[in-house]
């Protein structure tokens, strides 16, 4: 145990609690957010804005109106899908930090279908693009998966490195072979045919991706808690040697988990190009794959919690962008987002640990 404070007559230690009740976690979460907002208020005040007004506006822009909520949901879709993938891999202690690259490869594969087979009817086009998106992301995560499973190559490094390759590959395509002839060499592909666009809820940009996210969250939850395979994943995550001893096929599971993890991120990329943008372009993801890591960890790697966290996180992002439109500097917004994360993570730490004071001689 970590000792924080030592004096003649006693020691103060951090002690890990065996479990936290969801209620106490929730209380800690709320306190953390309030404290973060308080810290943010100081800085907003220094910049001569009214903190209450700014917070109210941020809240309105992400939760307080139909448009705000719809936009928050749109933004949460890529976070949710790639967050689910990351959570699954992390459950098995596979540190897949390559969701960003897997998003790009999924988007790229789906785009290939839309560009090379533009005449397909919607009923075939959309499933084909979904499949392509999944496969694109899955291949990109399977490469480090095989390397890890067969040769023990550290997946943190390989998944990270593959991110850069994926982004540069998409850059190459949108500047070169897939460039829209009407765009004067600007880095965009032609617009997808209408049949390649995911259906949206009327009057908003919410697309079918949200159902994919929700369905996969439930399926993953059931798989993890109710199936033999889910049990194997959890056991391997708790202790690899125990899993080996129990006769679990770790090599196969590593590859399977990486495949599904990358496939989900690939779907996020597919949903982004076919649901929102309508074409492949540079910078389709402003770091969704990295934010997904935060989402997965804040959601405690629980698929259902990932859904909620991705929605909350996206409201934080949407509100943050919106704050700039009333003149709040971007730096303040980033600071506030950072403060909220910092306090939530610190709060979670405090909730998990208990301070205990021990008298000498006890």
Partner 1 sequence: MKRWFRFKVILVPLLILCLGLLAAGCGSKQTNSGQGEKKEKLKVAFVYPGAKDDFGWATTQENARKQLMKEFPDVQFTAVENIPEGSDSARTFTQLCEQGYKLIIASSFGYQDAVHEVAKKYPDVKFIHCVGTKTAPNVSTYFGKMYQLRYLSGILAGKITKSNIIGYTAAYPVPACLSGINAFTLGVKSVNPKAVVKVVWTNTWYDPAVEKEAAKSLLDAGADIISMHQDTPQGLIAAAERGKYGIGYDNDMTSFAPKAAITSLYWDWTKIFAPEVQAVLDGTWKSQRIFKGLEVPGFLNLAPYGPMVPEDAKKLVEEKKALMESQKWDVFTGPIKDQNGQIRVKEGERLSDDDIWGMNWLVEGVEGKLPQ
Distance CA 265, CA 261 (A): 7
Contact residues for 307 (Cβ-Cβ < 8 A; gap 6+): 80, 213, 214, 217, 299
Minimum Å gap between C-beta 302 and partner 1 is: 26
Decide: is 236 part of the binding site for partner 1 (CB under 8 A).
no
Q: Does 226 bind partner 1 (CB under 8 A)?
A: no
Residue closer to partner 1, measured from CB, 154 or 186: 186
Q: Which residues are within 8 A (CB) of 102 and not within 5 positions of it... i.e. 6 or more apart?
A: 82, 85, 136, 137, 138, 140, 141, 166, 261, 262, 263, 265, 266, 269, 289
* Count of other CB atoms within 10 angstroms of residue 245: 10
Among 71, 155, 232, 348, binds partner 1 (CB under 8 A): 71
Which residue stretch of 132-140, 195-203, 304-312, 314-322 sits at the interface with partner 1 (rule: CB under 8 A)? 314-322
Handedness of CA 205, 209, 215, 218 (dihedral sign): negative
Q: Which stretch binds partner 1 (CB under 8 A): 87-95, 125-133, 216-224, 325-333?
A: 325-333
| Residue from 86, 279, 305, 344 binding partner 1 (CB under 8 A) | 279
As measured in angstroms, the least distance from the Cβ of 311 to partner 1 is: 15
User: Least Å distance between CB 241 and partner 1?
Assistant: 38
Which member of 18, 19, 48, 151 binds partner 1 (CB under 8 A)?
48
The size of the chain, in residues, is 362
CA distance 193 to 153: 42
Q: Which is nearer to partner 1, 38 or 124 (CB)?
A: 38
- Helix (H) or strand (E) holding 5, with range, is strand 3-7
The enclosing H or E element of 330 equals: helix 330-352
Give the orientation angle of helix 250-271 with respect to helix 122-151, to 10 degrees: 140
Residue among 283, 300, 338, 360 that touches partner 1 (CB under 8 A): 283
> Which one, 152 or 327, has the nearer CB to partner 1?
327
Confirm or reject binding of residue 205 to partner 1 (CB under 8 A).
yes
Among 31, 131, 214, 341, binds partner 1 (CB under 8 A): 31
The residues that bridge with 353 in the sheet, in sequence order, are: 16
Beta carbons of 124 and 163 less than 8 angstroms apart: no
Of the candidate residues 155, 232, 272, 348, the single one contacting partner 1 (CB under 8 A): 272
The C-alpha atoms of residue 108 and residue 134 are separated, in whole angstroms, by 11
Nearest CB to partner 1, comparing residues 31 and 297: 31
The reply to whether 165 sits near partner 1 by the rule CB under 8 A is no
Number of residues that bind partner 1 (CB under 8 A): 64
Tokens found for residue 222 = 């059931």
243-247 own/partner pairs: CB under 8 Å, 24+ apart: none
For partner 1, the binding residues (CB under 8 A) are 5, 7, 9-10, 12, 31, 34-35, 37-42, 44-46, 48-53, 61, 67, 71, 74-75, 168, 171-172, 175-177, 182-188, 205, 272, 276-279, 281-286, 318, 321-322, 324-327, 330, 334, 355, 357
């Amino acid at each position: 145990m970590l000792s924080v404070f030592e004096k003649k007559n006693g020691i103060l230690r951090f002690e890990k609690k065996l479990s936290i009740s969801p209620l106490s976690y929730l209380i800690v979460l709320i306190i953390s957010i309030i404290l973060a907002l308080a810290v943010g208020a100081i800085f907003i005040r220094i910049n001569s804005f009214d903190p209450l007004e700014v917070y109210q506006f941020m809240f309105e822009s992400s939760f307080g109106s139909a448009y705000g909520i719809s936009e928050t949901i749109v933004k949460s879709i890529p976070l949710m899908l790639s967050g689910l993938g990351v959570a699954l891999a992390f459950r098995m202690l596979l540190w897949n930090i390559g969701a960003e690259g897997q998003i790009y490869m999924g988007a790229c594969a789906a785009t290939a279908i839309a560009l090379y087979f533009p005449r397909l009817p919607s009923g075939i086009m959309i499933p084909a693009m979904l499949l392509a998106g999944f496969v694109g992301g899955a291949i990109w995560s399977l490469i480090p998966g095989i390397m890890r499973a067969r040769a023990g190559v550290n997946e943190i490094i390989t998944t990270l490195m593959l991110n850069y390759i994926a982004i540069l590959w998409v850059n190459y395509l949108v500047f070169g072979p897939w460039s829209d002839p009407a765009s004067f060499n600007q880095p965009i592909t032609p617009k997808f045919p209408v049949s390649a666009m995911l259906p949206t809820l009327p009057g908003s940009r919410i697309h079918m991706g949200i159902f994919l996210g929700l369905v996969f969250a439930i399926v993953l939850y059931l798989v993890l808690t109710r199936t033999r395979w889910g049990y194997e994943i959890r056991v391997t995550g708790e202790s690899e040697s125990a899993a080996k001893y129990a006769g679990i096929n770790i090599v196969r599971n590593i590859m399977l988990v990486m495949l599904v993890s990358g496939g989900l991120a690939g779907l996020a990329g597919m949903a982004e190009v076919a649901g929102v943008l309508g074409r492949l372009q540079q910078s389709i993801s402003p770091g969704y794959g990295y934010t997904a890591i935060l989402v997965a960890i804040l959601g405690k790697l629980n698929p259902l919690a990932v859904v909620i966290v991705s929605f909350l996180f996206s409201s934080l992002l949407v509100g943050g962008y919106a704050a700039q439109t009333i003149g709040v500097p971007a730096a303040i917004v980033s600071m506030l987002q950072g403060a909220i994360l910092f306090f939530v993570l610190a709060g979670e730490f405090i909730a998990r640990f208990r301070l205990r004071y021990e008298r000498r001689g006890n």
